[in-house]
Structure 1
Amino acid sequence: MAIDKEKIKQAIRLFLEGIGEDPDREGLKETPDRIARMWEEFDRQREFNFKLFEEFGDYNEMVIVKDIRFYSLCEHHLLPFFGKVHIAYIPDKVVCGLSKLVRTVKAFSLRPQVQERLTQQIADFLQEQLNPKGVAVVIEAEHLCMSMRGVMTPGHITVTSALRGIFLKDLRTREEFLKLIGKQGL
């Protein structure tokens, strides 16, 4: 689905008017266009080439990239939630470039989202693309919809996980992953 810059600009202008602001005042005059360009930038990061490498086909131990920083928007309030993603997979004849794991996080997080779905989408995409022995994804995030509204207390961290294949079936593999990302006892 393509970004419609004009609709975004109209919507932001109406939003600003709706909250009692003057969209023509100096500080807000360019805001509708800035937001439209921001969403175009997000949209460009959703598409990438998920390159696989078969020359490392004999590698069959856990691959982990942890502490992948991400930003997303809660689809209920359009307020940010942000934090870290930890991803592991156990290859079955193919591996991907490590940056592709980071790009996968960006592709699914730069849209209105909920953390639970984001966790599952990343795990499902990697399972589909890599066809590995297993995938594990853990996300830790602070949600501004809790920090600056609602209960209005910052610092709460929500943790979600999605396990596929051997990470779901084998307790030792799951425990090794959690130990390596520093999350024993989850």
Structure 2
Amino acid sequence: MSDGERPRGILSPADRAYLRGETTFDSDQSERNARARIRERMLAGLRDFDLLADALSERDRELVFGKHVGDDPEAVRSLIAALAVCYRGADEAALDFGTLLEEGVSRAEADRNVAAAVDFEVRREPLDADRLTRKLRRTGSLTLSELSYLRETEDVSLDRLLDRYATDVETDEGDDWVQAKMTSF
């Protein structure tokens, strides 16, 4: 389902078009109003998760995630993006994401009458084309964000890396993600 066909979620179709740069406004005030509406909807959507966690039936959740997310790469990317937004938002709110994650997992597991412990660690390294190329040679794998960085940087050609290291490269027309099985090391 394309963005234009997708029903309103947190964002309306007009909000999506604006954020993609497809819409311009006649005045600065109209643009400020659109941005304010997006922020309000985002906060309201975030608050809706409290109700969804408590009141959405297990069956409905299973239908959404089991039927629509698990086998849909676009939906999986969206789930990853939701976590990325929450991770960055927690940092911007001066909240510890690891603590929030532990509380969220504990809340979900408590519904199953299970206690949960969460280990969460973030190791940060600057993205650098030379370091990532060495990592690719050494380990044979990169994360999707690392591949994305290499794809966008002008320091190294992702096509050159894929030609040298990949077999079984699959791309979908219009899809900006490349899936490759790295084997030549």
Query: Does TM, scored on the shorter chain, surpass 0.5?
Result: no
- Structure with bigger helix share is 2
- Structure with bigger strand share is 1
